[in-house]
Structure 1
Amino acid sequence: MKGPLFYSKILLFGEYGIIKDSKGLSIPYNFYNGALKTDENPSESAMASNESLKRFVDYLESIDRDLVVFDTQSLSDDVDRGMYFDSSIPQGYGVGSSGALVAAIYDKYAQNKITVLENLTREKLLKLKTIFSEMESFFHGKSSGLDPLNSYLSIPILINSKDHIEATGIPSQNTEGKNAVFLLDSGIIGETAPMVGIFMENMKQEGFRSMLKNQFIKHTDACVEDFLKGDVKSLFKNTKRLSKVVLNHFKPMIPHQFHDLWKKGIETNAYYLKLCGSGGGGYILGFTENIENAKLALKDHKLEVVYSF
């Protein structure tokens, strides 16, 4: 048995900011995916995933039935038969490994589910996001629900504010283009919960809150608007500003050995780095106006181009 595939995602802009109502832009990343599966001879990782699903089933039974009802009987039976989530999505890398699992479970076991084929009104999108937020909280303590939403719908999602999200189109890729968005592998697994903890602790300080509103969110919103409009010149100007703010105020979220590399990008304009997800490890997101120059400057690192324009 193998279920449908659910893809990873990349939050291009909005990490941390969307907790405080900044804009955000999330796109599916089809390079990684996962599906629910059962095998006759499960591997160790399949058995570990199955154990985690057992705990997840108990958790799903605690979710308010007015919000969503699952066919927990079928789900329990399948899990008892050894079902697991077979995924190529790296965990702790900020590309939505738990989001894809949540999307797969909802797709298969939710009753009266909202489907991709319907007219996705703002109300339906918000309801899905709320359901997914509840479901994914099992994995990270507090979830926005965006990762599973992106994985479930497999379309770019524009976050205008907490209560206003919409499906959106993004400028089409141009594989000949020199401008690119890429992923840089830090080689370290990041943990979401401690990073969010540091952020919440910082939010208690007036200075940090003011920086978030007047710099971080301002530049994030500008980047989203530039990207959607296809205003490349302005996009790179604002991405550079955002990269600076992150280096100055989100240092704990940037793995130590990448501080100098981050700074070098800003100083040489060869590339600009930003957080991918909560940071602390996993992938780092990069933007460049010349992918060949960026590859040269980052030749000692593993780089994956995710979007050319």
Structure 2
Amino acid sequence: MRGPLFYAKILLFGEYGIIKDSKGLAIPYNSYQGTLKKEENLNESAALSNKNLCLFYTYLKEKTVEFPELLSFRLEELEKDINEGMYFDSSIPQGYGVGSSGALVAALYDKYANNKITVLENLTRDKLLQLKQIFSIMESFFHGKSSGLDPLNSYLSIPILINSKDHIEPAGIPSQKEEGKGAVFLLDSQIIGETEPMVNIFMNKMKNEGFRNMLSKEFSAHTDACIDDFLKGNVKSLFGNVKKLSKVVLDNFQPMIPKKFHQVWQSGIESNNYYLKLCGSGGGGYILGFAPDFEKAKEQLKDYRLELVYRF
């Protein structure tokens, strides 16, 4: 048995802001993917995945009782497949902010949900919100609290624009320029990040009025401007706004940036060769970078592993 592939995702803009209802833009990232598989003899990582699926099955069973109007799964079939050695075979790095648990949730929904909303039908706003709600409940098993956006992105495999908590829509993004000098890239921190502690830090910071003002005035304004520029292909303006966003994040989200990258972050802002921002909740994993000239950024960041995501 082997199921369809579900891809990683990158939240280009909106990390933390979307928790507090500002805009976000998420895109699928096809370099990493996962699929459900079933085998009799499992290696160590497959056996661990199978064990986690067992725990997830118990969680789903409870949640279907709690939310019968939203969740309906063929649980007996799921239990049987888990007992027969089903696991999630994934190349998506865990704790890296690119949606490893989201892809798993999307795969399970796709295979076991009753009356599932499919990618092929007319995706109205109501259907998108319903999917997001379902995925939010499912993915909360992994993080304690989930927006449901990662699985939504992985399941639909299309860019998604988050206007607010109750207003999401598919987004058309400009096609890549294969020969373009500018780029979006991932920088590997080589540190595994954990979502829940980072979200807890953020929630504690939200008790501070100054932090709340910064979030609603500066952070959200720069994020919204970046999304607008990106979708319209205003590259020059985009880099100006990403630089402002990068500064605000460095000044206000330091616990989410691994210490050894504080200076790397600052150097990008000073040199204008690249600008860094959080990828997911931070604390490790990938850091997202934007470079007006990718070759110059690569030269300045030659001590780090970079992955190209998108060319301008």
TM-score range with shorter-chain normalisation? over 0.9
Consecutive unaligned residues of structure 1, counting only runs of 5 or more, are: none
Question: 1:276 corresponds to which residue?
Answer: 279
**Could you list the per-position Cα deviations for residues 116-155 of structure 1 after superposition, in whole angstroms to 9, with x for gaps in the alignment?**
0000000000000000000000000000000000000000
Question: 1:104 corresponds to which residue?
Answer: 107
Q: How does 1:1-309 map to 2 (within 5 A)?
A: 1-63=1-63, 64-309=67-312
- Runs of 4 or more, structure 1, over 6 Å off, are none
Aligned residue for 1:35, secondary structure, equals: strand
How far, CA to CA, are the matches of 1:291 and 1:165 in structure 2?
Answer: 31
Q: Which amino acid aligns with 2:267?
A: K
Number of residues paired by the alignment?
A: 309
**In the TM superposition, what is the alpha-carbon distance from 1:40 to its structure 2 partner?**
2.7
Contact 2:40 2:84 in 1 (8 A): no
Aligned residue for 1:119, secondary structure, equals: coil
Consecutive unaligned residues of structure 2, counting only runs of 5 or more, are: none
Aligned residue for 2:27, secondary structure, equals: strand
How far, CA to CA, are the matches of 1:179 and 1:291 in structure 2?
Answer: 6
- Residue identity (%): 72
**In the TM superposition, what is the alpha-carbon distance from 1:44 to its structure 2 partner?**
0.3
**In the TM superposition, what is the alpha-carbon distance from 1:175 to its structure 2 partner?**
1.1
**Could you list the per-position Cα deviations for residues 185-238 of structure 1 after superposition, in whole angstroms to 9, with x for gaps in the alignment?**
000000000000000000000000000011101100110001001111110011
Q: Which amino acid aligns with 1:169?
A: G
How far, CA to CA, are the matches of 1:39 and 1:237 in structure 2?
Answer: 51
CA RMSD between the two structures: 0.5
Aligned residue for 1:195, secondary structure, equals: helix
How far, CA to CA, are the matches of 2:71 and 2:263 in structure 1?
Answer: 47
How far, CA to CA, are the matches of 1:262 and 1:192 in structure 2?
Answer: 21
Q: Which amino acid aligns with 2:189?
A: S
Aligned residue for 2:185, secondary structure, equals: strand
Q: Which amino acid aligns with 2:49?
A: S
Q: Which amino acid aligns with 1:54?
A: C
Q: Which amino acid aligns with 2:237?
A: S
**Could you list the per-position Cα deviations for residues 59-80 of structure 1 after superposition, in whole angstroms to 9, with x for gaps in the alignment?**
1112211112000000000001
Contact 2:187 2:286 in 1 (8 A): yes
How far, CA to CA, are the matches of 1:215 and 1:127 in structure 2?
Answer: 31
Aligned residue for 2:55, secondary structure, equals: helix
Contact 2:39 2:84 in 1 (8 A): no
**In the TM superposition, what is the alpha-carbon distance from 1:163 to its structure 2 partner?**
0.3
**In the TM superposition, what is the alpha-carbon distance from 1:39 to its structure 2 partner?**
1.6
**In the TM superposition, what is the alpha-carbon distance from 1:18 to its structure 2 partner?**
0.3
**In the TM superposition, what is the alpha-carbon distance from 1:41 to its structure 2 partner?**
1.9
How far, CA to CA, are the matches of 1:147 and 1:182 in structure 2?
Answer: 19
Aligned residue for 2:62, secondary structure, equals: coil
